[in-house]
Amino acid sequence: MQNTEIARRFTEYADLLEIDGANSFRVRAYRNAARTIEDHTSSIADVVHDAPATLTELPGIGKDLAEKIVAVVDSGEFDALTDIRKKIPAGVHEMLKLPGIGPKKVAALFHELGLTTLDMLKTAAETGKVAELKGFGKKTAQSILEGLTQIEQTGHRFLLADVKPAADEILTDLLQLEGVDRGEVAGSCRRHKETVGDLDVLVTADMSDAVMDALAAHRLVEKVLARGPTKQRVRLKIGIEMDLRVVPDESYGAAMQYFTGSKEHNIVIRRRAQERGLKVNEYGVFRDDVLVCGKDESDIYTAVDLPWIPPELRENRGEIELAEKNKLPKLVEVKDLKGDLHMHTTATDGVATIREMVEAAKAKGYQYIAITDHSQRVSMANGLNAERLRKHWKEIDKVRGQISGIEVLNGIECDILEDATMDLADDVLAEADWVIAVLHYGLKQPAEKIHDRLMNAIRNPHVNLIGHPTGRLLGKRPGAAVRFNDVFKAAKDHGVMMEINAHPQRLDLDDIQAAAAKEMGIPIVINTDAHSTQGLEMMPWGIYQARRAGLEAKDVANTKSWAQFKTLLRK
């Protein structure tokens, strides 16, 4: 069981406790426990199996919580969660998916109106019963109806790659308006989280009405949901909602810091301010109600004796402590990359030829690439058997003999089969310059079986890289149950690298596990998994994930020159 699954049980329990009216301190304890579990870089399940007594050494985990963690790992549940699920119907918990509806409002809907499903909630909102509840009103009822429609049509969260281009385009257009001086996308989109719930855009402007009118008329906007003097909420045609805030220039930096988040990061910043006799909010830094600063975001951090912290790190995962010691990482950038080592051609399921992929990579300034078409197990992608693969490599040899200025590796994306063997024989893999081992099938196998498959691949003397290690597809399928601590130890011992796959639906490794791999000194390779020349442009999404993991250029193998990189090849 992965950390995210364990954490989800505790988050659910905290939600249900709050809906049931439990003590706020008790609720907070479970929310903190969920965060501790999810952010832990090692496998909690491994800790339970190997050293359960050490669970209480984790922040906020006492004896009672440790026992519940053990129960979740052993059975998938703990008794208190099972009991409260019987008390609070599943449909009530689903109501938390609605934007702007928290446990307190859900509690009112459940206890006062007796609503137990989303369908009942929709009827109550349409008939006016929700609007009559204290603390709700017509606007909240309408917001609930719109949220229900959004859930039905698009789901609750959106891939970063699906919404960031729209946010960037809207911001660019707003910055062209007369009187608009500064602006930025904030929120989880600015922190480059792999999925985003909604969008936030901040601007400074002489006349807020003109900016709001322009947003309302923008080609990407479907509907204006709410409008006030300085805030407007719209729904974009792609389904996500966006808040536009027009802020005073003297408060712009403070607003940027506040609305970028995360909430957990900002709590620490506010506490540091209080310790220094200051108050921080979206309007600025104040001492005795006198504005100290707020125009520039870096000033907010200076006021609490910290250097500016990159948005991707603002998750309260140790960035404050690093900043205090002036040891924040110099995060990797797209321009640092010297190669891309995972891509496909028309030999399998790509849409570009070998030559087209090589020329496109050379045009990007890469020093080296690897052509890594699928092995035979991926029959739907016309995967290659040994005979076809060897012919394919000869075609690559021809092309690289005709194009100078870039090294082209004969590679293969080789499946790790369900019986833990490799999809191609060792004598074939031995002829490759670059072998990526991957899980495509059998992702629901028990953790022990997944473990055996990955370990066999890592021990194989011809494997260079474990590609998209869990096999997940965001929003479509969960990844395999990988025991990362053991896998990383083996990879370190055998000189096998780990991939951050930049495809927006994969982003695998995730940020937590990429950080853990870095801690163990395992080289990370950021690849596009491109199936076309345009697919080579997906690299920024992988870079964003690497930045959230705190990776520097030195942690990423394909930032090295060709002369440096080839020393890492296991041949």
3-154 shares its CATH topology with 334-568? no
251-324 falls under which CATH superfamily?
A: DNA polymerase, thumb domain (3.30.210.10)
pLDDT at 239: 82
First to last CA, the chain: 35
Query: Which one is the CATH code of 3-154: 1.25.40.340, 1.10.150.110, 3.30.450.20, 3.30.360.10?
Result: 1.10.150.110
Confidence of residue 155 (pLDDT cuts 50, 70, 90): low
List C-alpha distances in Å: 559 to 243, 313, 339, 553, 567: 37, 21, 7, 6, 13
pLDDT in tens, 195-229: 999 999 999 998 999 999 999 999 899 999 999 99
3-state secondary structure of 523: coil
Helix 63-75 and helix 3-19, axial crossing angle in degrees, nearest 10: 120
* Count of positions (residues) in the chain: 571
Confidence of residue 153 (pLDDT cuts 50, 70, 90): low
**Burial of residue 132, with CB atoms counted within 10 A of its CB: 0-12 exposed, 13-18 middle, 19 or more buried:** middle
* Angular region, 216: left φ>0, alpha ψ -120 to 50, beta rest: alpha
pLDDT in tens, 158-170: 899 999 999 999 9
Token pair in block for residue 566: 């080839």
Helix 160-175 and helix 208-216, axial crossing angle in degrees, nearest 10: 130
Confidence of residue 298 (pLDDT cuts 50, 70, 90): very high
Spatial strand order in the sheet of 279-281: 279-281, 284-287, 290-293
Confidence of residue 56 (pLDDT cuts 50, 70, 90): very high
Give the span between the Cα atoms of 264 and 257, in whole angstroms. Answer: 13
pLDDT in tens, 100-112: 788 999 999 999 9
List of long-range contacts for 477-482, beta carbons under 8 Å, 24+ apart: 477/443, 478/443, 479/2, 479/443, 479/508, 480/439, 480/442, 480/443, 480/444, 480/445, 480/450, 481/1, 481/2, 481/446, 481/447, 481/450, 482/2, 482/447, 482/450, 482/451, 482/454
* Mean pLDDT of all residues in 106-122: 93
Write the CB contacts of 430 (distance below 8 Å, at least 6 apart in sequence). 462
Adjacent-strand bridge partners of 234: 224, 242
Give the span between the Cα atoms of 366 and 562, in whole angstroms. Answer: 10
Write the CB contacts of 493 (distance below 8 Å, at least 6 apart in sequence). none
Helices (H), 155-277: 160-175, 187-190, 208-216, 252-260, 263-275
Least confident of 38-47, 140-149, 351-360, 527-536: 38-47
Cβ count within 10 A of residue 481: 20
Give the span between the Cα atoms of 261 and 259, in whole angstroms. Answer: 5
Token pair in block for residue 334: 């797209």
With 0.75 as the threshold, say if the pTM is over it. Answer: yes
- Percent over 70 (pLDDT), the chain: 98
Query: Is the separation of the CB atoms in 530 and 341 below 8 Å?
Result: no
334-568 falls under which CATH superfamily?
A: Metal-dependent hydrolases (3.20.20.140)
Query: Is the separation of the CB atoms in 384 and 348 below 8 Å?
Result: yes
Give the span between the Cα atoms of 233 and 396, in whole angstroms. Answer: 52
**Burial of residue 521, with CB atoms counted within 10 A of its CB: 0-12 exposed, 13-18 middle, 19 or more buried:** exposed
Across the chain, what does the average pLDDT equal? 94
Write the CB contacts of 256 (distance below 8 Å, at least 6 apart in sequence). 184, 186, 202, 297
Q: Where are the domains of the chain?
A: 3-154, 158-246, 251-324, 334-568
* Mean pLDDT of all residues in 444-465: 96
Q: Is residue 3's pLDDT more than 90?
A: no
Token pair in block for residue 372: 């890594």
540 Cα distance to chain centroid: 13
List C-alpha distances in Å: 137 to 34, 143, 144, 243, 484: 33, 10, 11, 21, 49
Q: What is the CA radius of gyration of the chain?
A: 26
pLDDT at 146: 84
Give the span between the Cα atoms of 546 and 542, in whole angstroms. Answer: 6
CA angle 300, 304, 310 (to 5 degrees): 55
Buried b (16+ CB within 10 A) or exposed e, 414-433: bbbbeebebbbeeebbeebb
Please provide the CATH number assigned to the domain covering 158-246. 3.30.460.10
Token pair in block for residue 468: 């998209």
Question: Do the strands 407-415 and 368-371 form a parallel or antiparallel pair, or are they unpaired?
Answer: parallel
* Angular region, 179: left φ>0, alpha ψ -120 to 50, beta rest: left
Which helix (H) or strand (E) segment holds residue 246: the answer is: strand 241-246
pLDDT at 90: 85
SS (H, E, C) 182-194: EEEECHHHHCCCC
**Burial of residue 176, with CB atoms counted within 10 A of its CB: 0-12 exposed, 13-18 middle, 19 or more buried:** exposed
